[in-house]
Structure formats: C-alpha cells, structure tokens
Structure 1
C-alpha cells in the first residue's frame, strides 16, 4: 500500500483491537473500542512496505547522528565499561575534541616543529596509543579542532609552514588505525577575528583577518591533498558560529560563507557550521529549528553545486540550544547565576537536539557527521565552579561526593576511585530515546510541516519518530499502512517531553497489541504531542517486513540563486536535465523548497508557475514565525504535481512587493523505482 499523492483525513470513528497487557505481563484480554480522530488532527502516514532512498542512501548510519561532543580518551573514563555503556547502552559514539597540531606545537614550545621532530615525537604518541587502556574501544570517527588563538598570531603567520606541520602531525603521530577521520583546523574562527585586530572595531580589518583565517584552511587542505597517508582524512570548515546569512541583504553570506567557499573551498572536503536555537557567541536570538535551518543548508548546497557541480557534504560539528537562564533562587552572585545547576534548565536544550536531528536525518546522503553539543564530564569546569557542572554536560558530579580542597581552592571527589561519583543529567534522555532506532528508511508523509516524521524498518520491527516543532500541543493521527497478512504483535512507545517549567521526562510504555494492520487502528496511534515533544514508536509485527515499493528522492539545484525581489517582476529559476523515469507515476511526488529572506511585513506567498502552470504556495512552514528576528529567513515547501514537470523546467516566482531576496529554490523529485 504505497503512500498516496493525496492523503487527507477528516474526523473518523474507527474500531481498533488492543490486547490490554503492559509491562510484560501475560494477563491480557482482547478488547474492541472506538478511536476518535479529531477533524483538526495532523495526519501522518507510514507504509511499512515502502522503502525510501535518498539518492543511494537507504540504511540509517547511526555514526553520522548519534555522537557526543567529547574524546573517548579523556581522563574521566575509568575503564572499558564506561565506553561500553556509551556505545552499547546509549548506542552513541564520541565525536569531537579540542586538540591538534598547533596545541601539540605549543606543548613542544615550538612554532612549527620540523618533520624530523614530528617523526620522533610521533613515534612516542603511537606507542602511547598502543598501550592505552581503552585502545580496544577506539574509533577514529572523530573531529579534531582547535581554538583560533592556538593557530593564529597575526597577518604575518607563516601559513605554508603551519600547514606543513599540520600534515606532518597527522601523518606521523598516528597510524592508519588511530588517525582521526576529520580535522577542523579552527573552531568558530570568524567570530574571533576581532581578537587579532589591534585597536577598536574595524570592519575592513576584521574582513581581512577572516580572509587570512580562510587561507589557513586552504593551505592545510592543499597540503593534506599532497599526502597519500592522509587520503582518507576530511578537512572541514569554517565552523561557522553565526550563520545568519540573510543579514544586511545577504552580505553576511557573501562576506563569510561565500567568501570562504570561494577562497578555500577547492581544498575543503566538507563545510562545517553550527546551528543553535538561541544566541551562539554573537548575533540576535534565533530559533534555527525548522525553516531557518533548511534555508541555511539549502543556500550552502546550492552554491556548492554551482561551484563544483556537486554538494560537498555537511559537518554539523556543534548543534543544539543555548538557554537564557532565569534568576535562580540559590544564586548568590552574578557569577553564581551563570553556572548554578538546575534540572529544568539542563533539560531545555533537548528539544533543539531533536528538532535539528530530524532535519539532518532528512539529508542523510549529504551529512558527513553531526554532533549535538553534549559534552562528557567536563572535569575542567566543575572543580573551579563550586562543584556545579558545565551547562552542556551529560554527567554531573554527585554533590554528596565532592568537597572543597582548601589548599587548592578547588572542588574534588571525596573518594576519586568511586565509580558512582557522577550522576546523569537530563541530556542522557536524548540518547535513551533514540538508542534502539535502526534499519532501512521508510517513506513518510505529514500534513503539517511542524510535525517532523522519520521511519525505519529492521526485520519484523518498525520505528516511527514524530517531533512537534510547535509552541502548542498537536493531535496526530498516525496511519500505519501495510500489505495483506501483517499483524501487530508488540508496541513500545517512548515519549520525551521537555516542559519549560519542569525537568524533561522520558516515558516508556510497552504492551501487547493485536489485529491486522490493514484493518486495525491502535489507540496509541492517535496521540497528542505536547509542545516540542518527541516520540518513538517501536512496532513488532508477526513476520519480517518486506518491501513492495521503493522510492528514490533526487534533489536538483539551479544556478539561479540569491535573486533580488522586485514587485510584479518574475524571478526565473531553471531546473534542467530532470530525470522523470519512474515505475509508477501515481506513487511519485515532487516539491519545490523556496527559501526567502524578507522583512516580516512582506509577502511570503508569491505567484508560482511551473512550465506555465500555477501551483499553490502554502502559508505555513516548519517552525515558528521568526517574529523576534530582524528578517524572516526560511524555507517554504510547495507541493508540485508530477504531471507538470518536464526534463527541462522553468519556475517563475512573482511577488507583489519589493524587498529581500529569493536565496535558493530546490526541486525534490521522489520517484517510484
């Protein structure tokens, strides 16, 4: 039963069968009750027999998405069991650490050590790795990065020598087994450019410094390309902290992201940037979740395609939420206010992790890695902050097991050997929610862009994730479709709620269920999602799920991007060489994703034609209205009938008013194969 082109439901009263058995007991009884589906419910449909390819990507690669912002060789790891818990119980890896060639050079008290020094010192490093207690657990799927002050001195840096040393470091300090896959030469360099410009703020000098920083990335990438030993490494950048690309009529994009791509991009393997809800270092408060994140990613992909005829993959080396902390009752001072631990505040970032993860999952074929900003134990922080943990930590010291050392004026554990010195923070619930999800991607459909959906099948088990981007509750009717003979057997429902005024909760409910999928509606499939809530359904069926339909989504970009909007003047976007070959026109779909940057009082609904035929532009998009931002910058998805598409296509957008830009338009064609 492939997903239809027109999936709409009104208020329904449907019987369902449920064997009322919870928590693994065997005392169950078959009951039949009606399920009321409200008329305003969001309709989500998943067909368990319809596989969804993104280009050639089908199977969920968990390594790309479920990571921790930490190094597995940090001192807090007591033994192999600690790594096993993260990897096997939470089913996550470690993703990023602050260390690299320039930090090593400073430790050696040299600017750029010689190649001979690299060989001598590197041999010691390899021996240390081979003897490390955690060697058996090691994974090289990690990003190494450094603070700009460790790399940059001034405009007189010897970048060529610095690049030579960076390449020497990764060639001689590691073996093929231990060498990290990813190197991000600097973390968020452009927001620190002013630190290297003497005197007060000077925009021109600041821009020159960002160009100098870009040249560091370029020379390092160029040198790595010369080294056969480094052929499997990815150089990524520029680790943008503040991708408000629409600011100043997109001059922010031109002077930062585009400049970096023009200046260094030929030697960069992946473009890295950081997406945060809130204020990251500088700029206005943003909620990037939803349409804003889509628009940012789309213009980077579009310009990548324009320059290189391919989309260079993304590296989301940090993402999450930055929370404005309210006045805390026990805070004694402004300093204490900044770091005083509170379970409710520690929970709030979780909703941003889930919002953005769902978007990244929708671009899996273009994602190299993504790392929620969830750190480990942050032992560098709490001893000097009265025992309070760093805000992003997964683990916090047990207050009952620490004390102030009056000689050092630092907090320490009473018994450092106690393996239970740390307690989990609410952020652990993010990993617990997702820890079992795996398998091949299934096609999904949602009638509301604020309800994000993803589904996967593994043997006889199907996982369906729903996420609410909205500030208000939403009732969702989840319609699960299947071919003949498939029966429900077991259902586990995980619900991760993040209230604004209390700590996050993760509820897990397991029950026996029954009935043929094709004729039964489970009560649990009609669900009211709280604001920002994420749920994961885990269905077990009576037999292995087999595909009868396969869809492949292909994405097309246009050279016609970043075009100014003028009243009643059509903007033309061309999409050529579109492959429309399909095994079933009925089961194929298409959409345009239009990204615009405009003042809030300007129209977001242009007249849109495709090859001369009009299509309807929704007055809705993923996420909030962006009213707290200076401009609206977001993507709006426009459904397109397949019958309107040709091999070569012309899209025209006509706005009724002047101002702003169409930053990009992307065409997605999802064909039955």
Structure 2
C-alpha cells in the first residue's frame, strides 16, 4: 500500500531492536478511510468470477449439492461477464434483414429474445440468485466487427462508412436491440439487463497483432464510438466502454504503444466511452522469466489512464478490469496442476488489493476464473486440453477427465475473502511490499495483508482506536505449501481468543484476520483521500534537467498526510532515484518501491510512491523532478492527499498515556535541530532514527536543551524518540537539504 508516516506508525517503530526484522502494520479501527465518495467494501465489484446465474451446468455432475447456493450465498461470491451467449446467437441464429443488407433482422432478434426470456422465466432455480449477477455484456470480435466475416447464416454486418451511416452502425444497432429483446427486469420477465457493455473482447489481438493484414486503428476506434452511440440511443442507463486492451503495455517502444493505441483510442472514441476497459495479467512463468504487473507496474498503468483522462476530459473516467490474474505459459497443456492455481490466486489477491485502493476509480474488477469451461475439453486430446482457469474440475484429473466436479484450488481465493464487508478504516505499512487494508462491520474487523515480496517477513500488526480486547481471532493464511512447482497452495485457518501482534507471512502469501469484539466498533474519526493530477504528463528525461509539474486546487485540512506518485518508464540500469522538490522543499525518495524490480521485463515502468510533508503542501503546488542521467520518461505525476478529521497524532498520544512535552525546531530542518522541554531532574535519552530503522544519533544525560547537528545526514524523514523514565514521546523530523 502507499507509504504513510503518522504518529501511529512512529510508536510502532520505537522498538528499535525489531525495526530491521519486522514490517510494521497499523490499523486504526475508529478512523474511517474514505476514497472519493467510496467508504465501504463492494463485494459485487471485487469478489466475483466469470459466469452467469442461469448457466446450464451449475448443478450437473457435482460432488456436492447446490454449488450455486454454496458459492453465491454461503461464500457471497458474485458473478458477471458473458461473451458467449450473444456471440452464439449472432453466429448461429440471427438472420439478415431482407430489406437492409448488412443489418440484423429486428424481428429475428425479437423472436430469439423472447425465447431467451421465456427460458430464463422457466429457470426458477436461478431467480433467487440473480441479485449476485451483475453482468458485463461483451461480444467477440467475429462476426461482430464488420470486416466481411460472415455468420453461419451466411451474412455479414455492413461495412459502410458515411456521414449518414458511420462505420459500425449495423453492429451497434444489433447490440442495442439484443439488450432490449433478450433481457427483462428479473424473474419471470427475463434476466435483468446488463449494467455494463464492453464493445468487443480484445479487438486488437485479432484485428492487428495476429492479423495477416492489420486493420486500421483509427477505423477500429471509430467503430467503438459508433457502437456506443447506438446503444445509448436505446439504453441511456447502460454504461459502454472499450477498447479492452489485452496487453496494455503503454511503455513499449519508448511509449510508442501508448501513442499509437491507447492514447489514440481515447482521442478518437473517448468522448463516447463511459469507462476504459483493460486486461491485466502477470506472466510468472514465461519462458522461465517472471513478468509481473502486480506492484509498481500496475500502478503506473492505471495512473496513466487516469492522468490522460483528466487532461482530456477534465474528469477521471472509471476503469474496468474485466480480466486479471496470471497467464502460466510454461505450464500450458499439462492438464490440471495445483501449482498453476497458486500462480493465479496469488496474483489475484495482490491485484485485487491494489484495485481496492482505487475503489472510486474502478467500476468493476473480475479475476479470470470460469465455472467449468467444459467447452475447452477435447476428448481426442484428453485431460491435458482442459482450461487452466476453472472454479471446478473433474475429481480424477489430471489422470483422466472423469468423476464428479469438485472445486479447484481457485476456491481458496474466495475462502480467503469470505465474509469481508463493511467500512474501510485507516491502515499503514512501513514497507511498500506489504499491502494492508481493513474493514469494520459491526463488532467485527477484517484485516487483509498481502506480501508482494518473494521472501518471508515477520509482521508486527497493531490495532488502535478500540479499548476492548477481541473475544475471537480467526487467522487465515494463504501460501504455497512448499517451494517447488510440484507443490500446492494451502489456506491455513486457526481460531484463538487472543492475538499477540506477531505474524510471519510466507513469500507472496496473504492473510485475512477476523477480529470479533464484545460490542460494536465505534468509528468516530475520518481520513478523506483525494487524488490530484499534474497539468502535464509523459515528459522526456534529460540529465540534470528539472521537469516541472503543477498540481492545483488541492484542498487541505488542519491535519493530514500526503504521497507524491511519480510514474517512470526507463531502461534497466538508469536511475530510479530522482531529486524531487515540492514547492521548493526537497523530499526524500525511498529506495524501495511496490513489488519486485521488473528485471525480466524489457524495461522498468512503475510508480515511485514518495511520502511528503503535509506542511509543504499548498492549494497550488510546483513539483520538480530531476534525474542524474538521461533516457526514458516521467509518465505521470499525481498526488494523494489524506485529510484528517482531527489531529490523530494527539489521539494516539493520549491513548498511550504519554505526558512529555518535548519540542523540536525548526522542522523541517537543514543544519541544526534544537530539542527542548526535557526534565532537568532526570536523565533523558534522545534517539534519532531514519526511516529504514537505523539509529543515526543517540544522547543520554540531564540537560535543558540539546542541539543535534544534522548537516551530515541525508535528506528524508526521521523519527526522534525522547525517553524519560518510563515515558516516551516520538516526533517526526524532516531533514531537508
């Protein structure tokens, strides 16, 4: 998660012996964390998979009874996205209008639509679960895209492109009338109509990347705009998005991919789009290499979409991630392998937690798991032909495709996330590789933790903002039960009546901790997170040449915190530690960034997340970024501002019973730090610690004031601890050069 430094974190950091070993995680249960207008967990948006409520094989050949009830009710899993039904009807059933060549016959759409609604009306077993099915309707490229490819009925959509009939009009009309005729309002009237429409699935893969003769990008993007307008003529309440990029490698070829594809799409069709839609996959096993999106790369990708949307339209249009987790190339066509699901599930957790941080800017995020995907199995090939992203498999796999259906290891994702709900509350991590998020629901607190690192870590988890002790603590730990590709993921669940703060998390492992308290948790404070975007983006880097960015109209409160986010795309070996000033004050750039180092990728593309002193912020801000060497781009500069409803530091001080009144000045400091307010009758110990936990200064004695020479210390955030007897006070100190 973003690195934030508050007094909550300082008191955890004061145990110097443990600083180097343990990652500090704090959860402030009485402080609501609101991002934009979102303050609660949306299971529809995040806890879901690819299916439909009336899918024919929900309850056939299963080892357990009532799979749909187990998943959708007991586990509260949601479903959506259908690319198959509309494509099947278009390909096999819908006829051409005899009076309008290249157009679907509207009476044919209406007839098959009524059949479909009637079929759903008879599927009464599905009706109780339709509230769990918020559909994304999406077509497949062929025969929907008008390039002459015919349906099995022998006709193709019109390729006309005139002022009266813009390119894609016939396709858009079909899609609009399909929505009108194939859906109802629920129950016996027909399935509720979809809330979201993706124009078509991964169009550039078929039409450009793998095509013998690549299609014109401008024409493809105009097609998207035309289809969206046709849908909106009949359905103003349906959101339409595109272009559904399979591999949104914005930084490819020194950002030429961004200019040629993604920026071009926004410029051509963006006005008609309600949202952007992309697919994000890790490639953890690609020819022996690991090409990860999770971590800083995904942050840079999403920041760039948001940044350009703001520059182009004055607003951040939401992003839909309609497919994500991992593609496992090195294990393809080997049949069911539990290790493959470990690769997919660990990526799903990491990405989901990153999406949850942007809950106000993401309208849907769906991991790529399907229910059974029986259509993929080829009897002539055998069990190695099965799909690699299924919720259920045959129990005798991989030896044979026989037996009843049982859950694959994908179920561990949903068991990990079971019951999480409620109001998001304030969290902190001392390490950007350790993401933490938390929610309060009545008398329960849910804490999610994910380790982006490939090493074990010891954790020190502290809960604040509540005076009661939990009566029950459930600990769910998801990890690879071993260290090789022959091993399987395991979800270990334990319950106890207490919690001692200490945890050890496995490499790329996840925790969900559920704390049950005797009474309802009182949330009486608030952190409001806002994100601001610079006035420009994608600036070339020249050595020792400052790049200036303006961030205006920043709203500030009496108390708060801030994080500067600098997107960087550079060749490996180039510096990732620029000199940065905010309103003339130099700020420290951490050595660490979120996730792994991207060594196996062609170049680095990620976001540097930099804590900045709240005191240096203004309504109108100037940020300067200077690299010591040339090459690459600063892709984006954005700023997260966290405004507090009260001085949360004072709350923590009182909670911990601290009565000292040590004062420091100036702060920020350059050369000499003056410490006053000590007790002249008792010895005082002063420790100054850097953000990595290293003790850089210590003095013990009886004195009225103390001067610390900071000239030799690097710029950055430090923590000053003053201890007199059993009383301790900690203060943040910013050294600015």
TM-score by length of 2: 0.78
Q: Structure 2 residue aligned with 1:162, among 167, 171, 175?
A: 171
Give 3-state SS (helix, strand or coil) of 2:330's partner. Answer: coil
User: For residue 374 of structure 1, what is the aligned residue in structure 2?
Assistant: 369
Counterpart residue number, 2:443:
460
Greater mean deviation of Cα atoms: 54-63 or 4-13:
4-13
**Which residue is equivalent to 1:141?**
134
Shift in Å, 1:552: 0.3
The yes-or-no answer on 1:534 pairing with 2:527 is: no
After TM superposition, the structure 1 = structure 2 runs for residues 398-409 of structure 1, keeping only pairs within 5 Å, are: 398-399=395-396
Q: Is the aligned partner of 1:91 residue 2:76?
A: yes
* 1:440 paired to 2:410: no
The whole-number CA distance in structure 1 between the counterparts of 2:624 and 2:632 is 16
Relative to structure 1, is the Cα distance of residues 239 and 279 closer, same or farther in structure 2, using a 3 angstrom cutoff? farther
Q: Distance in 2 between matches of 1:650 and 1:458?
A: 40
Q: 2:113 aligns with which of 99, 115, 122?
A: 122
Contact 1:3 1:45 in 2 (8 A): no
Q: 2:261 aligned with 1:256, yes or no?
A: yes
Q: Does 1:66 align with 2:51?
A: no
Contact 1:325–1:345 (Cα < 8 Å) also in 2: no
Q: CA RMSD in A?
A: 2.5
2:347 is aligned, of 349, 352, 377, to 352
Q: CA deviation at 1:90?
A: 2.1
2:523 to 540, 547, 570: 547
Distance in 2 between residues matched to 1:281 and 1:271, nearest whole Å? 27
Q: Distance in 1 between matches of 2:577 and 2:209?
A: 43
Of 638, 642, 649, the residue aligned with 1:666 is 638
Q: How does 1:377-416 map to 2 (within 5 A)?
A: 377-382=372-377, 384=379, 385-388=381-384, 389-399=386-396
Q: Is the 8 A contact 2:383 2:398 kept in 1?
A: no
| Superposed CA offset, 1:279-334 (max 9, x none) | 8999x9620010000000000001111111111111110000112435xxxxxxxx
Structure 1 residue 454 displacement after superposition? 0.3
Aligned mates of 2:224, 2:488 — CA distance in 1: 41
Q: Which runs of 5+ in 2 are unaligned?
A: 97-102, 149-157, 161-167, 187-191, 646-737
> Does structure 2 conserve the Cα–Cα contact (< 8 Å) formed by 1:429 and 1:506?
yes
Encode CA deviations 1:357-404: one digit per residue, 9 max, x unaligned.
Answer: 11001011111111111111111123534245421111101228998x
Structure 2 CA distance, aligned partners of 1:530 and 1:280?
20
Report the CA distance shift for 1:435/1:165 in structure 2 as closer, same or farther (over 3 A).
same
| Structure 2 residue 250 is the aligned partner of structure 1 residue 245 | yes
Seen in structure 2, the aligned counterparts of structure 1 residues 280 and 488 have a Cα distance that, compared at 3 Å, is: closer
Task: Give the structure 2 partner of residue 556 of structure 1.
Answer: 532
The answer to whether the 8 Å contact 2:383/2:397 transfers is no
Q: What is the CA–CA distance in structure 2 between the aligned matches of 1:361 and 1:109, rounded to whole Å? A: 40
Asked if structure 1 preserves the Cα contact closer than 8 Å seen for 2:319 and 2:363, the reply is: yes
Distance 1:236 1:279 in 2: 29
The one of 201, 204, 207 aligned to 1:187: 201
What does 1:199-598 align with in structure 2 at a 5 Å threshold? 206=214, 208-227=215-234, 230-278=235-283, 286-325=291-330, 338-382=333-377, 384=379, 385-388=381-384, 389-399=386-396, 421-483=404-466, 485-498=467-480, 499-501=482-484, 502-513=487-498, 522-523=499-500, 525-580=501-556, 582=557, 584-585=558-559, 588-598=560-570
Inter-partner Cα distance in structure 2 for 1:154 and 1:72: 33
1:607 matches 2:579: yes
Q: Distance between the aligned counterparts of 1:482 and 1:279, measured in 2? A: 39
Distance 1:536 1:412, change over 3 A: closer
1:81 is aligned, of 66, 88, 102, to 66
**After superposition, what is the alpha-carbon deviation per residue over 1:480-536, rounded to whole angstroms, capped at 9, x for unaligned?**
1124x32221100000002542100001101112xxxxxxxx32x211111000001
Partners of 1:541 and 1:549 lie apart in 2 by 19
Unmatched segments (≥5 aa) in structure 1: 14-35, 200-205, 327-336, 404-410, 414-420, 514-521
Q: Distance in 2 between matches of 1:372 and 1:285?
A: 19
Task: Tell me how far 1:660 sits from its aligned partner.
Answer: 0.5
How far, CA to CA, are the matches of 2:90 and 2:553 in structure 1? 51
Instruction: Indicate conservation of the 8 Å contact 1:492/1:509, yes or no.
Output: yes
> Contact 1:197/1:209 (CA < 8 Å) preserved in 2?
no
Q: 1:470 to 1:274 in 2, by over 3 A?
A: same
> Given the two structures, how large is their TM-score scaled by the length of structure 1?
0.85
Q: Distance in 2 between matches of 1:151 and 1:360?
A: 31
Distance 1:53 1:650, change over 3 A: same
**How much does 1:444 deviate?**
0.3
Matched with 2:7 is 4
SS at match of 2:426: strand
3-state DSSP of counterpart to 2:611:
strand
Deviations 1:251-296 (A, max 9, x none): 11111111111111111111111111118999x9620010000000
CA distance in 2, matches of 1:281, 1:237: 27
Offset at residue 563 of structure 1 (A): 0.7
**1:137-168 deviations in whole A, cap 9, x for unaligned?**
22451112232123225287341111111111
- Give the whole-Å Cα distance in 2 for the aligned partners of 1:464 and 1:285: 29
Secondary structure of the corresponding residue to residue 539 of structure 1: strand
Instruction: Answer yes or no: is 1:132 the counterpart of 2:123.
Output: yes
The number of equivalent residue pairs is: 603
Aligned in 2, Cα 1:401/1:637: closer, same or farther, shift over 3 Å?
closer
Q: What secondary structure does 1:365 align onto?
A: coil
Q: Please name the residue that 2:31 is paired with.
A: 50
Q: How many angstroms does 1:188 deviate by?
A: 1.1
Q: Describe the SS at the equivalent of 2:108.
A: helix
Worse-superposed segment, 131-140 or 639-648: 131-140
Displacement, 1:42?
Answer: 0.9
Alpha-carbon distance in 2 for matches of 1:631, 1:346: 28
**How many angstroms does 1:558 deviate by?**
1.8
Aligned to 1:332: none
CA shift for structure 1 position 338: 1.2
In 2 relative to 1, CA 161–100 (structure 1 residues): closer, same or farther, beyond 3 Å?
farther
Find the aligned partners of 1:594 and 1:400 in 2 and give their Cα distance.
47
Bigger radius of gyration, 1 or 2? 2
CA 1:281 to 1:176, structure 2 compared with 1: closer, same or farther past 3 Å?
Answer: farther
1:631 and 2:603 equivalent?
Answer: yes
Deviation of residue 339 (structure 1)?
A: 3.3
Question: What does residue 19 of structure 1 align with?
Answer: none
Do 2:36 and 2:530's aligned partners in 1 also have CA atoms closer than 8 Å?
A: yes
Shift of 1:103: 3.7
Are the aligned partners of 2:337 and 2:398 in contact in 1 as well (CA < 8 Å)? Answer: no
Q: Whose RCO is larger (CA < 8 A, sep 6+)?
A: 1
How far 1:73 moved relative to its partner?
2.2
Assess, with a 3 A threshold, how the Cα gap between structure 1 residues 541 and 619 changes in structure 2: closer, same or farther: same
Cα contact 2:94–2:108 (8 A) shared by 1: no
